[in-house]
A and B are shown apart, each in its own frame.
Chain A
Amino acid sequence: MAEPLLRVTDLRKSYGESWAVDGVTFAVDRGETLAIVGESGCGKSTLARCVARLAQPTSGSVRLDGLELATLSRRRLRPLRPRFQLVFQDPSTSLNPRWTVEEIVREPLRLQGVRGDVPGLLSEVGLDPGLAGRHPHQLSGGQRQRVGIARALALSPDLLVLDEPVTALDVSVQAQIINLLLRLQEERGLGYLFISHDLAVVSAVAHRIAVMHAGRLVETGPAEQVLGRPSHDYTRALVAAVPGA
């Protein structure tokens, strides 16, 4: 059987006495979106940070294309960084306010010492390349998130870890960014690990859904099954609580 793009096995992360992530196992294929859903404090953001190696897992395995990331030193990890990138919830805090759009999108290219096509990246995420000289505060929330996505794409990753990427956006802008993510996935064959508390958003993007509660995955399955015929009580409660559904 071919190795999936991302395979996470029995991942654990503790803070002091408590386990934020308590034995989590899943896989994400190329071109596939796995959504991790759950409420605040369930451990989903810690999980995202462990997968992207912004946090060091306490134990367990994170394999990208079969290569173990969890135990690599920062130095050994560096050449692999281009292959997985993180997109954050709030673009206004994840983008350096003193830099221009051009500088922000170019930074990962510069760090890896490679050339890149910044205007091409901006066009690809639906931004007018004429905005390259602007600063983040001169952009709308949706434009800022497009900049965050362009930066994440700069090194042609295989996997994007998206942590609540549309949560801070207005409804009409949220739909635009969801569509952008769907299009980029199709064009580039990206794997997405999509972290969200919002089941309606997740239903528009996810092939599969894993429901996280108290550090563990309580249910995993195809999106239509988890949302339409949830088997775990906690999933049922989550689905039932979505207003106006």
Chain B
Amino acid sequence: MLEVKDLVVTAGGVRIVDGVSFEVRPGEVLGMVGESGSGKTMTMLAVAGLLPGPARITGGTAALYGTELTEARLERIRGRRIGFVFQDPATSLNPLMRVGAQIAEVLRIHGLGRTAARRRAVELLEQVGIGPERARVYPHELSGGMRQRIVIAMAIALRPALLIADEPTTALDVTVQEQIMRVLRAAQRETGAATVLVSHDLGLVSEAAHRIAVMYSGRLVETGTADEVLGAPRHPYSAALMRSRPRIGAGRGPLPVIPGHPPAPKSRPPGCAFHPRCPVALARCAQEVPPLAGGVACWAVQDG
């Protein structure tokens, strides 16, 4: 169980994540969606203790089964209990090491003997659909999709309590995407890990996530089941985002657009960050930040 409460991440004096709260239960997949600069990746990097450069947690908590994650001294616990799959498998793999050995190394660092680690590495390869004979190849000998399978095997090797997949298929072709999502979901079910799938792709998230969290300019604006948020979104931003997405079958023609573009956190407007682009904004929306209440952070919904 992951519990994130009022998380604030600051970089260069700007709150790039601004008071985010959510929970993910064991075996559950939370889809975290948002556009660039929405803070979705920063939120998960903060939870994982992997914030880059100047970014720091300056408020709130993140706990995994009651263990506070936001303290620096918990580096080792994080490594063992959180598995990662990033967009680009190259950032997670050592180009000079055979893939089987890389998986085995993860296991050995955490206490398994040489032979047991090798045996388990082969099992993990099979689990992600790679034959044992491929254990001796180097990452560059594999396709992007195959490399991402290796990363998934490493991510689940220690049976993590939390699995974070950040745009795991964005760099892959659509037919390969489908295979990787199948492998990822099987791995997630098998480990029972609480899983956060970070993506800009609403279609992808709709197929994989039980619940959805929508972020906008560093804040959560809506949470709910995948059916609720994707089928009947309540926040004006989520609703507009769903409408503006091209869909096969809708035919040729203009899409309903949201005017303007998402604000960078440093130029976030006061009140609700979406109010300048919002078709139903009230006077209050420009002054007070709406709290996330009943799954939606919107004065127009809450007051209406």
Considering the complex, which residues of chain A in the window 192-207 have a beta carbon less than 8 Å from any beta carbon of chain B? Answer: 197-201, 203-207
Q: Does B247 contact A (CB under 8 A)?
A: yes
Chain A nearest CB from B104 CB (Å) reads 31
Residue interface mask A171-203, B partner, CB < 8 A = 1: 111111011001100000000000001111101
Q: Are A238 and B174 in contact (CB under 8 A)?
A: yes
Q: Are A172 and B244 in contact (CB under 8 A)?
A: yes
Closest 4 CB pairs of A and B: A244-B203, A170-B35, A243-B203, A175-B244
Q: Are B252 and A200 in contact (CB under 8 A)?
A: no
Q: Are A204 and B262 in contact (CB under 8 A)?
A: no
Q: Are A243 and B207 in contact (CB under 8 A)?
A: yes
Q: Does B202 contact A (CB under 8 A)?
A: yes
Q: Does B177 contact A (CB under 8 A)?
A: yes
Q: Are B35 and A205 in contact (CB under 8 A)?
A: no
Considering the complex, which residues of chain B in the window 223-249 have a beta carbon less than 8 Å from any beta carbon of chain A? Answer: 230, 240-241, 244-249
Q: Are B247 and A142 in contact (CB under 8 A)?
A: no
The chain A residue sitting closest to B176, CB to CB, is A39
Q: For B257, list chain A residues within 8 Å (CB).
A: 172, 175-176, 179
Q: Are A238 and B206 in contact (CB under 8 A)?
A: no
Q: Does A111 contact B (CB under 8 A)?
A: no
Q: For B178, list chain A residues within 8 Å (CB).
A: 241, 243
Q: For A244, list chain B residues within 8 Å (CB).
A: 202-207, 230
Q: Are B246 and A203 in contact (CB under 8 A)?
A: yes
Q: Are B249 and A175 in contact (CB under 8 A)?
A: no
Q: Other CB < 8 Å A-B pairs besides A172-B257, A172-B258, A197-B174, 17 of them? A: A33-B252, A170-B36, A170-B262, A171-B245, A172-B241, A176-B257, A179-B255, A179-B257, A200-B248, A203-B249, A204-B253, A204-B255, A228-B249, A243-B178, A243-B207, A244-B204, A244-B206
Q: Does A147 contact B (CB under 8 A)?
A: no
Chain B interface mostly: loop
Q: Across the A-B interface, how many residue pairs have beta carbons closer than 8 Å?
A: 112
Q: Are A199 and B248 in contact (CB under 8 A)?
A: yes
Q: Are A178 and B203 in contact (CB under 8 A)?
A: no
Q: For A205, list chain B residues within 8 Å (CB).
A: 252
Number of B residues contacting the other chain (C-beta, 8 Å)?
A: 37
Q: How far is the CA of A33 from the CA of B252 in the complex (A)?
A: 10
Q: How far is the CA of A223 from the CA of B253 in the complex (A)?
A: 12
Q: How far is the CA of A237 from the CA of B176 in the complex (A)?
A: 11
Q: How far is the CA of A171 from the CA of B174 in the complex (A)?
A: 17
Q: Are A245 and B252 in contact (CB under 8 A)?
A: no
| B253 partner, pick from A182, A199, A227, A238, beta carbons under 8 A | A182
Q: For A170, list chain B residues within 8 Å (CB).
A: 35-36, 200, 261-262
Listed by A's residue number, 27 A-B pairs whose Cβ atoms lie within 8 Å are A140-B261, A170-B262, A171-B35, A172-B241, A174-B246, A175-B257, A176-B259, A179-B254, A182-B253, A199-B174, A200-B245, A200-B247, A200-B248, A203-B247, A224-B251, A227-B249, A228-B249, A238-B175, A241-B178, A242-B203, A242-B248, A243-B178, A243-B203, A243-B207, A244-B202, A244-B206, A244-B207
Chain A nearest CB from B290 CB (Å) reads 20
Q: Does A165 contact B (CB under 8 A)?
A: no
Interface residues on A, range: 35 or more
Considering the complex, which residues of chain B in the window 257-274 have a beta carbon less than 8 Å from any beta carbon of chain A? Answer: 257-259, 261-262
Q: For B230, list chain A residues within 8 Å (CB).
A: 244
Chain A interface mostly: helix
Q: Does A96 contact B (CB under 8 A)?
A: no
Q: Are B252 and A203 in contact (CB under 8 A)?
A: yes
Considering the complex, which residues of chain A in the window 216-234 have a beta carbon less than 8 Å from any beta carbon of chain B? Answer: 223-224, 227-228
Q: Does A141 contact B (CB under 8 A)?
A: yes
Q: For B175, list chain A residues within 8 Å (CB).
A: 39, 237-238, 241
Asked if A172 meets B252 with Cβ closer than 8 Å, knowing A142-B261, A197-B173, A244-B204, the reply is no
Q: For A204, list chain B residues within 8 Å (CB).
A: 246, 250, 252-253, 255
Q: For B132, list chain A residues within 8 Å (CB).
A: none
Q: How far is the CA of A206 from the CA of B173 in the complex (A)?
A: 21
Chain B nearest CB from A212 CB (Å) reads 13
Q: Does A112 contact B (CB under 8 A)?
A: no
Q: How far is the CA of A115 from the CA of B113 in the complex (A)?
A: 75
Q: Does A24 contact B (CB under 8 A)?
A: no
Q: Does B256 contact A (CB under 8 A)?
A: yes
| A203 partner, pick from B201, B203, B251, B256, beta carbons under 8 A | B251
| B249 partner, pick from A176, A207, A237, A245, beta carbons under 8 A | A245
